[in-house]
């Protein structure tokens, strides 16, 4: 089975509803150089954070991912407010110590003390950890499957768009390669005409003329740049069709393309060549923008 190109932008969701609970998992992502996962979930699931990260990393290479988990326990008998007396006494002791040390009024009230972390909590009855993880992992896998599916669909669109732009580049290269030999010949004829005008009836030194034309041809020659650009285009096309997490490699190839296009433009003394070198540069820039979205 062929490996698909994936975008780094995606969204996935799963919802599990049964008599005992409702579990919702949502995940979305944007571009990022590395795998960067941010999780928002009830305290009940904090014990599973490492397992959640491991599970998601098996199917996702790169991207800034926001994961949201919500959980509603329908078993009313298992839910209650819990009071942590020992923790409240600790808070009170240190607040009074602070008042004494700093010489300020001790104005601690019950309403204030109740707002300290974990003094009052929504207690949930004893939950079977294995069953809880089983439900959570199932929801994560379903959301992740939808997430990867969305990324893959977007990745296919990106691949087709870039392949189209590579064809545009090949067209520009063909024009430059066809035009390049004519530029040298036109320069030879223009140079001969100017020399004839200066020397009138005197004989032109063909050797000197050939030397001048050779120097000019060498200065504007873009054969090496054309060969390398063809190679880079073929390599990028191969990587796109191979699929997988190739975003970083494609970005490097695009940088090399841009280098060759810049050199071609700097050597161009002909309007047609210059126009197509500019077309190369603008197309490469569009390709680089698209590559930033590829995993």
Query: Over the stretch 92-105, which tens digit does the pLDDT of each residue have?
Result: 888 888 888 888 88
CA dihedral 53, 58, 62, 64 (to 10 degrees): -30
Task: Take residue 127 and report the two structure tokens written for it.
Answer: 């939950």
The answer to whether 143 touches 13, Cβ cutoff 8 Å, is yes
Query: What is the predicted pLDDT for the residue at 202?
Result: 58
Residues of the chain with pLDDT under 50: 1, 77
- Burial letters for 241-278: b for 16+ Cβ neighbours within 10 Å, e otherwise? eebeebbebbeebbebbbebbebbbebbebeebbebbe
Q: What is the pLDDT of residues 50-65, one digit of tens each?
A: 999 999 998 888 899 9
How far apart are alpha carbons 31 and 22 in whole angstroms? 31
How far apart are alpha carbons 205 and 68 in whole angstroms? 81
Query: What is the predicted pLDDT for the residue at 214?
Result: 59
Query: What is the predicted pLDDT for the residue at 75?
Result: 66
pTM across the whole model: 0.70
How far apart are alpha carbons 192 and 27 in whole angstroms? 71
How far apart are alpha carbons 116 and 101 in whole angstroms? 21
Return the number of other C-beta atoms located less than 10 Å from residue 279's C-beta: 18
């Amino acid at each position: 089975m062929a490996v698909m190109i994936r975008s780094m932008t995606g969204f996935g969701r799963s919802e599990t509803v049964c008599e005992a609970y409702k579990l919702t998992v949502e995940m979305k992502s944007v571009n990022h150089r590395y795998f960067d996962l941010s999780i928002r979930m009830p305290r009940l699931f904090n014990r599973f954070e490492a397992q959640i990260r491991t599970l998601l990393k098996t199917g996702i290479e790169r991207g800034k991912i926001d994961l949201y988990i919500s959980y509603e326990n329908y078993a009313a008998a298992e839910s209650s407010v819990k009071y942590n007396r020992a923790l409240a006494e600790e808070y009170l002791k240190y607040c009074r110590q602070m008042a004494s040390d700093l010489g300020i009024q001790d104005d601690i009230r019950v309403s204030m003390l109740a707002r300290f972390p974990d003094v009052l909590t929504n207690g949930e009855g004893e939950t079977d950890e294995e069953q809880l993880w089983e439900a959570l992992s199932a929801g994560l896998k379903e959301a992740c499957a939808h997430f990867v599916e969305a990324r893959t669909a977007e990745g296919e669109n990106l691949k087709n768009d870039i392949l189209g732009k590579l064809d545009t580049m090949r067209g520009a290269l063909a024009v430059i390669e066809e035009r390049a030999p004519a530029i040298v010949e036109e320069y030879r004829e223009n140079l001969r005409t100017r020399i004839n005008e200066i020397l009138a009836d005197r004989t032109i030194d063909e050797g000197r003329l050939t030397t001048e034309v050779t120097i000019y041809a060498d200065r504007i020659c873009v054969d090496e740049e054309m060969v390398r650009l063809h190679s880079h285009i073929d390599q990028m096309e191969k990587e796109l069709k191979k699929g997988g997490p190739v975003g970083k490699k494609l970005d490097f190839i695009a940088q090399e393309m841009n280098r060759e296009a810049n050199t071609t433009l700097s050597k161009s003394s002909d309007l047609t060549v210059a126009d197509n070198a500019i077309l190369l540069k603008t197309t490469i820039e569009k390709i680089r923008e698209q590559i930033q979205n590829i995993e």
